Amino acid sequence: DAGVTQSPTHLIKTRGQHVTLRCSPISGHKSVSWYQQVLGQGPQFIFQYYEKEERGRGNFPDRFSARQFPNYSSELNVNALLLGDSALYLCASSLTASPAYEQYFGPGTRLTVT
């Protein structure tokens, strides 16, 4: 079975631009969570979606938004990019609405903002 997939794998953007990252969960998983991992640190929670509804949000500015589609895939959008947004963006999927107990992570999208 395929695991969590993310696209693109790498991305380079300029300050002020907008970016869209995509995630496909494991088949049958209805919950998707997004994490930001800055180099040398642990992942930080951004969003969690279950059944297309936002169920949790971390301490990130409104420049960050996300949505989940009927097929449970998800997009993370970041507007007005800053240098500090450079990070590995991880997507995790799980079966249940309380996803923290059984999360499976994708390989991430490496975003570089110049």
Helices and strands of the chain, counted as H and E runs: 0, 11
For the CA atoms of 67, 73, 79, 84, what is the dihedral angle to 10 degrees? Answer: 120
Three-state SS at 32: strand
Of 66-105, which residues contact another protein (CB under 8 A)? 90, 92, 98-101, 103-105
CA 44 to chain centre: 10
Least Å from the CB of residue 83 to another protein? 21
Does residue number 24 form part of the binding site for another protein (CB under 8 A)? no
Give the residue with the Cβ less far from another protein, 19 or 88.
Answer: 88
Of 27-66, which residues contact another protein (CB under 8 A)? 33, 35, 40-45, 48, 55-56, 58
Give the residue with the Cβ less far from another protein, 17 or 96.
Answer: 96
Residue 3 is encoded by which pair of tokens? 């695991």
How many degrees, rounded to 5, is the angle at CA 59 between CA 56 and CA 60? Answer: 100
Binding positions for another protein, rule: CB under 8 A = 4, 33, 35, 40-45, 48, 55-56, 58, 90, 92, 98-101, 103-108
